[in-house]
Amino acid sequence: MCVLPRGLIVSSQALDGNPLKKPEYLAVMAECAEKGGAVAIRANGYDNILEMKKRLHIPVIGLNKIVDKNGVTIITPNFEKAKEIAAAGADVIALDATFRNSEIKEAAGALIARIHNELHLPVLADISNLEEAIKAEKLGADYISTTLAGYTADKPYKPQDKYFPDFKLVVDILQSGIKIPVFAEGRFWQAEHVERAFRLGCYGVIIGKAITNPMAITQYYNGFVQAGLANDWIPTETQNPYTKDIDKVSTYEMLQMINREDATVAEKVGRKLGDIGAFIDEIFPDFSDGGRILYCGAGTSGRLSVVDAAECPPTYGVAQGKIVASVAGGKDAVFNASENKEDSFADGYEAARSLSVTKKDTLVAVSANGNAQYCLGFLSYGKEVGAHTAAIVNNENTKLSALADHTVAALTGAEVVKGSTRMKAGTAQKMILNMFSTALFVKSGCVMGNLMVNMRPNNVKLQNRAVEMIMLLTEASYEESKANLEACDWSIVDTVKEMRRKKQ
């Protein structure tokens, strides 16, 4: 009795007060959804379903919303309401399979049986929790949807989850052993959430407001307008109001809080692409003429700097001294925290002085709070000798920003755990460092297409990777690519040039 294809289902409905609450309007929206690739439509009420069936070539999941004496809306509460929408042409009947009691609500098991036996239609059970999903399958439902998760009085969704689906429930259902198709529904607003649901194993995703309710869509985007107009910078040391109860929630909810905060980082870094690009373009001439990149940092910032500096030589085939990282506390601080060392201006100054800095070099200080004395000392020496200086920070109006020639301030705000800047601030720093060094070496000719052709193939794994690159760049066979690499002493760039020369 599986009549619903796998894919995206669009709910074409409108509540009281919505100007679109007319059968002809909702039917046109449903038709648009079909043309956009929806595999089915979810619709409420006889008149709306009847009008949609005139236009659509895809199945319609029909439902009948009825308000009981307590003001609670129940989805297709009884057989008469199911029979009504079946007469309108519904291909599937959706009904309330929650454990809520209502004077208008028939027992789910009996209702499902009558719909099967008398209307000969499949049933989609709308549930709000795992226990209801398991029960619905036992009662004979053909499909399950998380439609009512967060919409029951006993467990309403939190304000911060208004645009965030209940993925925990989705995962719990999918891992419970339920055999019938599972649809994820409720608060889907981002394409990434739809993709995530399918990757988890959902049979389909049902979206309503985010597609068919212009008022709700406008409200959603207007929230970002207000955020864009506001000065939303919050210091990294502020207590985060969205995670203040992180010690009281389940493991999954804890991870959800962290994930939600992490998801904001890329956007904050994205705001600074102009600053990063201008910085790269200014220093590149000196960098390509023998200049070096000299990082400094304390704690997490220093360790991230070490990682970037260490990974560039094997990735891009450059000399070890082309990018250097200095950490407050020295090499031992890479493995053991030495936060007190960040307070020494003199240590930072001496670290820079020991590197024999020239005017062609670029000194980059990485610091979440932007005030680390070690970094200030490091940049101060660079300023004295006329080198380029830059600061990568996560706060506004910092001492490093005031000192440096260039500043990239990714304002990631309050951390999940107050003051733990190894989290969002550290993630932003890693992203910026990746962009910075990658762009420099791409501009330096170390990359063809998106292949790291300047790497040194000094082990079997890298040699195999080098052969694959030659095959991609020249369309030669494995044997020919390897033979030419060996003839060119495993230089990928020289091999490509030589093979292209021979073809001319």
What is the set of active-site residues?
A: 311, 342
Work out the burial of residue 450: count CB atoms within 10 Å of its CB; fewer than 13 is exposed, 13-18 middle, 19 or more buried: exposed
Q: In whole angstroms, how far apart are CA 402 and each of 276, 398, 421, 436, 440?
A: 17, 6, 21, 21, 25
Task: Judge contact between 481 and 456, C-beta under 8 A.
Answer: no
Distance CA(131)–CA(144), nearest Å, equals 12
Cα torsion angle, 372, 378, 382, 388, sign: negative
Distance CA(309)–CA(321), nearest Å, equals 9
Residue with tokens 């001492």: 399
Q: Exposure pattern of 255-293 as b/e (b: 16+ CB <10 Å)? A: ebbbeebeeebeebbeebeebbeebbeebbebbeeebbb
DSSP code string of 82-105: HHHHHHTT-SEEEEE-SS---TTP
C-alpha 139, offset from chain centre? 37
Sheet containing 293-297: order of strands:
323-327, 293-297, 362-367, 388-393, 406-409
Neighbours of 343 (CB within 10 A): 13
Q: How many CA atoms lie less than 13 Å away from 181 in the CB half-sphere?
A: 19
- Token readout for 266 is 């890329």
Q: Which helix (DSSP H) or strand (DSSP E) does residue 174 occupy?
A: helix 167-174
Q: In whole angstroms, how far apart are CA 189 and each of 198, 207, 209?
A: 15, 8, 8
- Sequence-ordered strand ranges (E) for 172-270: 182-185, 204-207
Cα torsion angle, 414, 419, 425, 427, sign: negative
Q: What angle do CA 104, 110, 116 make, to 5 degrees?
A: 115
